[in-house]
Structure formats: C-alpha cells, structure tokens
Structure 1
Amino acid sequence: MDTGRFAYPIVSAIFIFLIFSQAEAYDTLDPTGNITIKWDILSWTADGYVATVTMNNYQMYRHIMSPGWTLGWTWAKKEVIWSMVGAQATDQGDCSKFKGNIPHCCKRTPTVVDLLPGVPYNQQIANCCKGGVVSSWGQDPSAAVSSFQLSVGLSSTSNKTVRLPKNFTLHGPGPGYTCSAAKIVPNSVFLSSDGRRKTQALMTWNVTCTYSQMLASKNPTCCVSFSSFYNSTIVPCPSCACGCKNTNSCVTSDSNILDVVGINTPTANNAPLLQCTQHMCPIRVHWHVKTNYMEYWRVKITITNFNYLSNYSQWTLVAQHPNLNNVTQVFSFVYQPLIPYRSINDTGMFYGIKFFNDVLMEDGPDGNVQSELILQKDANTFTFKEGWAFPRTVLFNGDECIMPPPDTYPFLPNSAHARTIVLSTLAAFVHFILLAFW
C-alpha cells in the first residue's frame, strides 16, 4: 500500500490550515498594528511596589469602543492589589485573611477596567478615566493611550526577585486579542514637566496583544453593496453574509422589544440585536459610483447601522482602491491615506468629524452616515469596465467586510447606450464647472 499518496494531502491540508490560522491574526494593511501594555515599576514598598500600567494602541484603524477595555492577568505568586488609581478591579475576591487594611483586590486572576469620566481628581492619573475607550493610532495618537496605577503587595521588593504576571488577557470590548508573555525591556525614561530632568523606571516589562477577526466573531460583522449611475441594478450584500435570519437572531422594525427601557445601552456581553435583513450584518457599507466627469469621477459612500443595541463611536472605514492615490476632495468624512506597505498608495481610512458624525447611531432614522469623494482619473488605468470602479477591500472598525461576488458587479451598458453615457458625462462635467465657479 502506497501510504505516500494519502500522507501528502494530509500534510498539505495541515500546512494550509497553519498558514491561514496565522494569517488571520496578520493584517496586511496594518502589519505592525498591536496594543502594547507597558508596566513601569516606579518605587518599591515594604511588601511590593507601585507601578504605572500604560496601554498604547498602535493599530492604525482599530480602536476600542464603549463599553471599553478589560484587562486581566494571573499573579505569579500570591500578590494582592492594595490600591488603584485610574482603574478598578471588577471583583475584590476573598480578603478575609487581612485585618485592618483590606486590599483593593485579593484575586489571583484580577480583572481590571478603566474608570468612567468625571471621577474625583484624587482617583485620576494622566490618560485614565475615559470609560475604556481608546482611539486608533491613525485617528488620534494623543487619545490612543490609557493608563492606571496600582500598588502591589505580597510581592518581591527588588528587580532581581520580582516575578512577572502571566496569562494576560485583553478584551476590547469583546474578544479577539491574544497577548504575549510579559517580557523585561529597558527601563522607561521620563522627562519632568519642564523638560529639564530625566528619571527612569526601576523596572519595565511589556506585553504585546494582537487582534484576530476569527477569534473576535464566528461570523463577519459587515458587508458591502454596490450601485452605479451607468446601471440601474443595485448589487446587494450577499445573502447570509453575517449569518442567516431566524426568529431568535433579529427583530422587525415594529417589534415591541424596541420599547424596552435601556434596550439601546451597550454592554460587553450583549449579542447584537439586529434588524431582520437578508444579509444579517450589523453594518452595511454601500459604494455608489455617482458621476463621471471629464477628468474626475465621484463616489458616494453610505454606512448603515442595523444594530438596535449599539452606537459605533469613533468608527473607522478603510477602503482599498487603486485610484485612492488621487483623492481630490472628501465631503463629510475625514480622509487619511494609510502608510503603504506595498509599492503603491492605494489604501485610505475614513472617519467621522468630531461632534458631527463621529458617532454612528443605532438602527433607526439616524442610523447612517454618508460622504462623497471626488477622485482624479489616471489616464493609464481608469475604466468603468469589469468592476474597476469598486473597492478591492473594505474594513469597518478594523474587521474585513464581505463583498459581493465579482461577476455580479454593475456592468457597463452595451454600445447602443454609449451616446447616452457620453452626454450624461458631459452634462455632469458642465454642472461641476458651474458649481466650482459659482
């Protein structure tokens, strides 16, 4: 019996599985993106140390939205948290063996959350108390950080004997992050407020957490639909793109459940409460090729929220298209090209304008945001043929959206209608010129 014939497909299958399982946590559009958690020991105490924990979000377009991050770990020995500033443990645990001074948390596996805005000043430190909301690095680097301070007891009291915590977990706010083991790194250096004096931590260790969409959700969380001015067909999101409709997974717009007080308040454990659709996605992105000018073309983007439970604050939309290197104007959204990791700059990030449309409301009349963009044509590559005008990849809040099959994209009409397209293009161009000089 030739066992080689059977072994080869098995080995190949295992090899392919390993590649794709690793690739799922590797984002080709943001390959260096991660959340780095840094522990800086600032001083030693009688039975432990005081440390500042800083969470830096180095992901270009993936942020942590309400209800915020949750950080956990396992103590190496029998450490306790005497006190915290800027955050709190969700469970104190069994502290019955202590008399008089009771620790803030006695659990061997503490779970910590950020404090809410507005707490008393003596409970705050810099970069704390934002309800766990952390911006993406590409959106706002100054807000892509969160910090807290803790006093640890029943621990070693020198950098030669202290034991590093292990088994770090990060939810932001749901699952999806995998964290490395803590690693000792060069001590952090700090500058005084006047910039004239340097100090350094007594000991520093880092933990790196990376995101996997496959770990975050068994189903995709967004889909894309298409339409164009040159074809009356609207290409919808694929059916069951984010799961299939059943009586337990969605509600109709006239359901009585929508009248329940507090139904729209987000929590970390809430499953989406979706409007019944054929795609069953919380988010739909619609890309409409709107107008053809002589040297430019115009696209309208609409993002619709079908989730009755969640507002999407500080949302981000990433699109990959070869003509994004020639964006001329963007209306209603902020646009930022992403640092290219390929030979061409074909990827950009869109997000809302603060206090205007940076919050995508839950399903309902206000549950959508829209923008239009004008792009200059590249004479060597521009065409409306074969779906070229539609994006190659779309991500919402860092998760890749399901696209329609390429053979369903709106197609150009046949030559009998060519004169109509030319006339409509000329009329649109004249209209554009008139608006420009009005």
Structure 2
Amino acid sequence: MKIYQFGLLFAALSLTACGGGDPINLSGKPVDGGNPTTPIEPTAELKVAISSSPHASTLVKCVKAQTRADSCSLNELSFIYNENPNPTIDDIMNRLVVSDDWMINRFRDMLTDNNMPNTIMPLFQSVRAIVISSDVRPSYFTPYSGAIYLDPDYLWLTNAEKATIKKEDDYRAAYAKKFQFLATERFVFNNTTISAPGSLSDKTERSLGAALPEFAGLLFHELAHARDIYHDSFMVTLTPSDKKLSEIYHDRDTPQMSDQVFVSTYKLTNSDMQAISLNLYGGEESKDKDQQARILTYTAAEVGSLLEREGANDQYAYYKTEEDFAMLFEESMMKKHFNVDRDVAYLEVPDITDPKCDDYIIGWGQRNRIAASEVRPRALAVVKKALANASGTDLIEVEDFFNRLGSPTTLPLIGYCSAINPNSRSLSNSDYDPMQDIIRY
C-alpha cells in the first residue's frame, strides 16, 4: 500500500516546507499518541534478525521509538552510512528487525537475487534500521527512528508465510468513497500487470521472481524517503552524541532533498489537487468550504486534466512534497531497471451494485507519464539527487535514460481492465477490484 510516514501507522512531524511549524500527519494516523486500534508503532513482538549484530542490544528499542520524545540518539544507533557508505548485505542484515523468522531469509533472498537492481544497496546508507513486521500494513518511513518499516505482503511466497500477516483493509480506502472518481495506478509490462499472483485471502503461492519487482518498487519508494531526509551531505555533518535523532532532524540547517529540488517551476501549486489529496490520503477536508464542495463535484476527466497541466506523475504527489519526490524516483527506477511502465488513471465510479472491473470507465489516463514534458525534468532532477554514491558516468547514464523515454501513451477511455492493453478494445469480464490500485504503500 502506498503511504508514507513517509508511509503507515503514523507520523508526527513539523516540516518547514509543509505548513511551517504545524505538525503534519503523513499517514492519516494519529499524531504522537494513537490509541489501541491505531498504534503508532508495530505491536507484534519484534526481534533482531542477526543475534550477533553489534546493534542487537538497541535495535528493537530504537525502531519502536517513533515519537519526538523517545527517539534514540546517534550514540545509541548510528546510520548505516556511518559504518559503511557502500553498504553490504551483512551491513543491512545487521540492522534488520522482524516479527517472524521467515522474513529474515526472504528479505536476504530478495536483496541477493540477480534481478535486484544494483542501485538499491547504496540507498540503505540513509537508514538506521529495517523493520518487517506482521502488522506493518502499509509500509512507511519515519525520520524520528530513521528506519523503514516494510509490509510483509510484498515478501511472502508460501501459504504458511502469508498466514502470519495481519489481514486488515487499508483505512484510507474509505476516504475515496466521497468522490465521483477513483485515482488509480499500476505497473505494467507488455500490457500485463506486474503484480504477483495471489493475495492474503486465498491459497495461491508464488515464486520469488514473481514477487521481486513489486518489492523492488517498495524499496525504491521507502528508501527515497530516507534518502530525501538523511542524505549524505547532511549525514556527513553529524557527529555521535546523546542528542535525540528527532531533535537533530528538527534543528537541521541542511535542507531535505525534496526542498532543494522542488522550487520555482518544479513546485506543484494547484490548490484543488492538494485539497483532493488531503481528502484521499489523510481524510482531511479543506478548511475552505467552497473548495471542499467544488472538489467533490469533479469528474475523472476533470481531475485528470488538472494533473496533466503540472509536473506530477500521480495524485499522491500532491499529498506531501516528500511523496512527490518518492513517487518520481520510484517510477523512474522501475522503468530504468525493469523496463516497466506505470499507468496513472482516473476512473468514473459506476452507479451499480457489485460492479466488475470494466464497469469503471477511464475518464483520463496515461502510461509512462514520467516521459511527459512537464514531468521529465522534475523526475530527472529527483533521480540525480537521490542516487547514492553515483559517479559522473552514472549520472550521464541517467540523463541518457531520460532522453530515450519517448512520450506517454494515452489510455483509451474504456473499462479499466481492458485498457491495460491500449491496442485492444475487447471488454474484460474480470472481477478485479480497481480499489486495490488506489493506494500501494
């Protein structure tokens, strides 16, 4: 699921770039406190993956420290960058915390697979820990712990593994029901979705190869959040101390990468789109009652037209500047490394009981939106900023990649499932629920 605490359960932050000193809630979960049904941290019993890790005594404590008050200091837990700016598998595994043993081998298998992009590993320099827990749904990053929290739904292969994962509907799905459209997105290859087969509610098993691309996309997204906040030009200024990481974060002079990139022409400014995203992803209505009433009348075609006018590649980009950064990085890296395209589409909601997939008609949609003239320079700027340890040759390769992107493809204004193949007009009878594509993490 696509959220960001920079991800899930909660975030209580004060970001100059996002509303001055007001606390922002990046996931829609409660700010500093929570309650028994909406916790601010994984509630499953956690353990270190590698008992001999030099950080074994502090890892669990520090990944549970997600509020400003209980954040761990750098003396308690450093960034991977401080140990090795070029992280190895061992460096990363020594920072892993899990709720279930199977997650250890599965995570290692994913990272060491030949198909895992080599640009993933250096990005881990910007985290202090990795958490995989049965109740982390969806994934997120929080700058107070400096850890990424990964949804194990992206990792399971067997029925025994998926049986350990908490089955809970994404609370954000309810936010979409007030609108006349659905904002969806999906990755496709050769006119077929790359989503691995099976779900938490069936008995289908899958291979590591089938699950790996989506897991790579998850890592690109969450590590982009970590990199945005704790990039090497900031971390090089840090020295070990007893000062809480949350205070280091708030007292920083070096701006986030997203603040450095999204200035002047690169900044998204459409206030109606921002209000829609606050509704969709945070459950927060606009304080301007006229604006709130207006956005509730928008059709899929009208919202798509608004997106097309600016350089966003997704509706989620309007939620927070940090999401704009991560969405551009994720789509770019998935295209570069897997040659998969991403569909972004707005669907008209059918006024019938139990609609099938093709009852949701596309009002506006594009494939490979990062190739659009409004989006491409923003995506290029993000990728060049976010890549860790990139050489001059690497950056030239990135520019060549963006120069070869071509143009976006307009999706036909037909049923959502049928439109996955823009060259076909045959209707699908699929029971696939497009609601699954409104939020990934």
Q: Same fold (TM over 0.5)?
A: no
- TM-score normalised by L of structure 1: 0.23
Q: Which has the higher helix share?
A: 2
Q: Which has the higher strand share?
A: 1
Higher relative contact order (CA 8 A, sep 6+): 2
Q: Report which of the two structures shows the higher radius of gyration computed on alpha carbons.
A: 1
